[in-house]
Amino acid sequence: MQLVEMREALRQAIDEEMVRDSKVFILGEEVAEYNGAYKITKGLLAKWGPERVIDTPIAENGFAGLAIGAAQAGLRPIVEFMSWNFSFVAADQLISNACKTYYMSGGRYSVPIVFRGPNGAAAQVSCQHSHCVEAIYGNLPGFYIIAPSNAYDAKGLLKAAIRSNNPVIFLENELDYGDKMEIPQEEYLVPIGKGRIDREGKDITLISYSRMLKFCRQAADVMMERGISVEIIDLRTIKPLDLPLIISSIQKTHRALLVEEGHSFSGISAEIAFQIQESCFDDLDAPLLRVCQKETPMPYSKVLEKATLPNLERILAKLEELL
C-alpha cells in the first residue's frame, strides 16, 4: 500500500493510462509548464513531452472542441477545466457535440473523452467559481457523471473513465486534493455505475457523494453516540445511478436523507428522491428529506458561505426530523 493525497492518486491514474495507451493525452490551462493549477499533472510534461501534455490558451470553447474532434478521430483526450464553472464557456461543445455525436452519427463515431477538474465550492471563491454542475450535465443523455469522495475511488474511477468509450464528466473538489489515504501500489479499477456502502447502519440511510461524505460521516458519528445507527451510501457515480444499492439500503432502514452540495431545485437529490419513491415507496416509514445548498448564488463572505452550504448542523437537524 502507499499513502497518497487525492491529487497524487489522480496523477497516477493519468500517468498509468498514458503508459498503457499511446492515444491518451491531456490538455488544459497550465497543465504542462506549471504542472497543473492544482499540481495534478506534476511531472507529466517532463516525462511525456508537449505532444501529450498540452498547455492551452484561456479558451475553453476552443480546446474543448479540439479535444472532442480528437476523440471522434480515435484519440482519448483528458480535458482539464481549471474550474468546472469555466466549462460553461464551452457549453456548446459539450452539449451539442460531446454527448450527442454517438447518437447523431448512428453509432459510427464514439467520443472517448474525459472532462475533469474541481467542482463546487472551495474557500471564498464566490459565485463564479463555486457552482456544482452535476445537475446541469446530468440532464443530458450521453454523459457519464462521476464524483469520487476519496483517493482510492478517484484513481480507480479515473482510470475506468479514460478507458470508457463514452464522454465522462469527472467531478473533483479542490478542498479534497490534499486528503491522504492508503491505496494499492498495484493497478486497479473501480467500476463506473457502482456505489458503495461507506458505513453500515440499520436506522437511517444517508445518501451523498464527493466532499459531502465528510459531513455525513461526522453526522453519523454524532448519531451513533445517541444510539442511532446511520448507514452511509457513497454514490461515486451519479449517472448511471446505482439504484439497486439505494433500494436495498432503504428496505433495511426505511428512512432516507439525501445530501448534496448543489442547489435543491432540479437537483441530484430531487431526482434520486423521485426514483426512490417510485421504486420503494412502501418501504418508507418517513418522508424523504434532503440537505442542499440554499437557493442563492454563493456568497463571498466566509460566514454567509458556511450558512449557505450543507454542514454538520443542518444534516443533524434533518436526521432528527426523520426520527
| Coil, helix or strand at residue 157 | helix
Residue 116 lies in a domain: yes
Give the C-alpha separation, 40 to 7, whole Å.
5
| Coil, helix or strand at residue 48 | helix
Residue type, 80: E
Number of domains in the chain: 2
Residue 57 lies in a domain: yes
| 131: annotated active-site residue | no
Q: Could you tell me the pTM of the whole model?
A: 0.96
Question: Are 152 and 215 found together in one domain?
Answer: no
Mean local confidence (pLDDT), 181-210: 98
- Region at 281 (left for phi over 0; alpha for psi -120 to 50; beta for the rest): alpha
- Give the pLDDT band of residue 199 (cuts 50, 70, 90): very high
Range of the domain at 231: 196-322
Question: Are 43 and 128 found together in one domain?
Answer: yes
| Residues in contact with 100: Cβ distance below 8 Å, sequence separation at least 6, in sequence order | 142
Residue 189 lies in a domain: no
pLDDT tens track for 275-316:
999 999 999 999 999 999 999 999 999 999 999 999 999 999
Task: Enter the C-alpha cell of residue 85.
Answer: 464553472
Residue 54 lies in a domain: yes
Give the C-alpha separation, 144 to 198, whole Å.
22
| Coil, helix or strand at residue 296 | coil
Question: Are 177 and 292 found together in one domain?
Answer: no
Question: Are 175 and 246 found together in one domain?
Answer: no
Q: Which of 293, 276, 292 is nearest to 284 (CA)?
A: 276
Give the C-alpha separation, 241 to 243, whole Å.
6
pLDDT at site 126: 87
Residue 301 lies in a domain: yes
Q: Which of 8, 17, 60, 305 is catalytic?
A: 60
Question: Are 172 and 36 found together in one domain?
Answer: yes
Contact 205, 249 (CB under 8 A): yes
Question: Are 170 and 216 found together in one domain?
Answer: no
| Residues in contact with 164: Cβ distance below 8 Å, sequence separation at least 6, in sequence order | 112, 114, 144, 192
Give the C-alpha separation, 97 to 266, whole Å.
24
- Give the pLDDT band of residue 220 (cuts 50, 70, 90): very high
Contact 55, 22 (CB under 8 A): no
Tell me which residue has cell 473538489: 173
Radius of gyration, CA atoms only, the chain: 20
Contact 185, 129 (CB under 8 A): no
Question: Are 41 and 133 found together in one domain?
Answer: yes
Domain boundary residue among 128, 161, 183? 183
Question: Are 20 and 130 found together in one domain?
Answer: yes
Beta strands 180-183 and 2-5: pairing type?
antiparallel
Question: Are 21 and 169 found together in one domain?
Answer: yes
Question: Are 76 and 112 found together in one domain?
Answer: yes
Contact 84, 171 (CB under 8 A): yes
Q: Which of 273, 234, 272, 257 is nearest to 318 (CA)?
A: 257
Residue 252 lies in a domain: yes
Question: Are 56 and 28 found together in one domain?
Answer: yes
Q: Which of 8, 29, 80, 129 is catalytic?
A: 129
CATH (domain of 201):
3.40.50.920
| 295: annotated active-site residue | no
CB-neighbour burial class of residue 294 (10 A; exposed 0-12, middle 13-18, buried 19+): middle
Question: Are 165 and 205 found together in one domain?
Answer: no
Task: Enter the C-alpha cell of residue 260.
Answer: 448534496
Give the C-alpha separation, 203 to 96, whole Å.
44
Domain boundary residue among 152, 183, 214? 183
- Of residues 177 and 123, the one with the higher pLDDT is 177
Give the C-alpha separation, 48 to 212, whole Å.
35
Domain boundary residue among 183, 213, 230? 183
Residue 191 lies in a domain: no
CA 285 from centre of chain: 30
pLDDT at site 127: 86
pLDDT tens track for 61-80:
999 999 999 999 999 999 99
CATH (domain of 43):
3.40.50.970
Contact 38, 118 (CB under 8 A): yes
Residue 188 lies in a domain: no
